[in-house]
Amino acid sequence: MVIIDGHHLTLEDVVAVARHGEPAQLAPGARERLTRGHAWVQDILAAGKPVYGINTGFGIFADRRISAAQAAQLSRNLVLSHAVGTGAPLPEEVVRAAMLIRANTLAIGYSGVRPVLVETLLEMLNRGVTPEIPSQGSMGSSGDLAPLAHLALVFTTDDADRAEDSGWAIYRGQRMRGKEAMQAAGIPRVQLGAKEGLAVTNGATFSAALLALAAHDAGHWLDIAEITLSMSLEALMGVSGAFDARVHRARRHPGQQAVAARVRELTRGSTLMDAGGRVQDAYSLRTAPQVQGAARDAWRFVADVIEREINAVTDNPLIFGPHDAISGGNFHGEPVGMAADFLGIAMSEVAAISERRIFRLTDGNLNYGLPSMLVNTPADAGLNSGLMMPQYTAASLVLENQTLASPDSTRSLPTSGEQEDHNANAMTAARHAREIIANTAHVLAVEAYTAARALDLRLRQIPAARMGNGTAEAHRRLREAVPYTPGDAWWAPEIARTRAVLASPEFLAAVLAAARPQP
């Protein structure tokens, strides 16, 4: 059970609820804060003082006064008019992550909404109602307006209660109108009150959801990249000196030191390391700690940013007391957009250096005596293409990443009659980071597949050689799932199975356990 109190949500909590169906519940203290915040909104309405979004219009219409009697209609109109997203629907896990993050944001108590809004979002998560949310149309400021409005269509309503105004949702694998899905799940829809329409649509919540899942996944693939690096190093009889702890302490970067330490651990006991008698290796081997370590440091920064964001108040205005409402800009997605760009750049480089190792493993002029394209024997070359084409695929994904990693947060266009004259483009940045990580995962799968084959061929050349404890375990588990094929075969399904093995937390845990020194 994940307890929502506005302050302690973690990336692991987001993954547990979004992907694994862990139930979520509102903390009692948060319910009390929500009740108090809603009462403050009622005080503001009674006083009649103009407060943005409570008794005024939105955006360029912020100077237009709205009567207290029209407050509910103002909220409903906001939802209806802002649900204008487009593009393919977001994956259900992203929508579920966004619902959890939005509930946590509102639970802090400065948004002025009733507890029933948060409890409804949590009930939808717990009972499996997932709104269908278009993936495009958000500027990332004022938050993810269009996606959040599509979310609100499903769980909010008005006196007319028209099914055609309730959006779409997935319930028990079926796509249906939001009204129908909520009825089927036994969850009453909510009529919005003053400020509530703005509170549920204002904030970079879908950007944060995308980045939270992406950051979680990136952490896993950074660990896998150290395993594929170690396998490639042994297959190419790499020079161990480049991973000496003294070298990396001298530069001081923690990520670099961590990567080098992990390689030393994974290759402990190897007789293939240094077997080539070289003084130093090419950059794709020798400087991997500097490149992958920089990515690890970037990932740590991004993880810190997104953990703050998913526990932050991100709408506007904020209600701090009975007559204390302040208009600010916490909805602006710049922190998320910049972090997403940074993560995308970092993971793009992880894929890039991995692809260079794949190229080196398959090139008969660079792989130190292995057959060109890793065909079974040199005599098979020509009749068999070997692993020529998997390297093409990796190169294609790296080139795509280079385009996707071009920063989105530096791009802005004004909206709402220049009232919103600088926008974050955060959701696009987060979507691109997610795509980059998926591409990088496949490149690493190609490297693991290629390195495993290269190790088979190398051990055939040097039967007495021994792999490191960690790399041997990785190789063993990969070969259990994907046995060695002497001649050409349909490599694609085998690479897909390799990727599935690498994606498993059990694989990572087993390899790291094997690499640790035994007592």
Catalytically active residues are: 52
For the purposes of burial, counting CB atoms within 10 Å of the CB of 386, is it exposed (0-12), middle (13-18) or buried (19 or more)? buried
* C-alpha distance from residue 81 to each of 84, 150, 199 (Å): 7, 10, 15
Distance CA 388, CA 358 (A): 10
Backbone phi, then psi, for 513, in 5-degree steps? -65, -40
Q: Which two tokens stand for residue 426?
A: 């955060």
Distance CA 495, CA 280 (A): 31
CA 42 to chain centre: 38
In the chain, DSSP finds a helix count (H) and a strand count (E) of 19, 11
* Type of residue at 500: A
User: What residues have CB less than 8 Å from 160, skipping those under 6 apart?
Assistant: none
Distance CA 289, CA 14 (A): 30
Evaluate whether 294 touches 349 at the Cβ level (below 8 Å). Answer: yes
| Sole residue written with tokens 């007592």 | 519
Max CA separation in the chain (angstroms): 89
Distance CA 79, CA 142 (A): 14
Q: Considering just the CA atoms, what is the radius of gyration of the chain in Å?
A: 27
Sequence length of the chain is: 519
Evaluate whether 443 touches 354 at the Cβ level (below 8 Å). Answer: yes
Q: What is the DSSP string of 371-438?
A: PGGG-SSGGGBTTB-TTHHHHHHHHHHHHHHHHHTS-STT----BGGGTB-----HHHHHHHHHHHHH
* Type of residue at 148: L
CA 338 to chain centre: 14
Evaluate whether 175 touches 191 at the Cβ level (below 8 Å). Answer: no
- Cβ–Cβ contacts within 10 Å for residue 52, how many? 18
Distance CA 24, CA 376 (A): 53
* C-alpha distance from residue 179 to each of 13, 86, 116 (Å): 28, 21, 17
For the purposes of burial, counting CB atoms within 10 Å of the CB of 126, is it exposed (0-12), middle (13-18) or buried (19 or more)? middle
- Cβ–Cβ contacts within 10 Å for residue 229, how many? 31
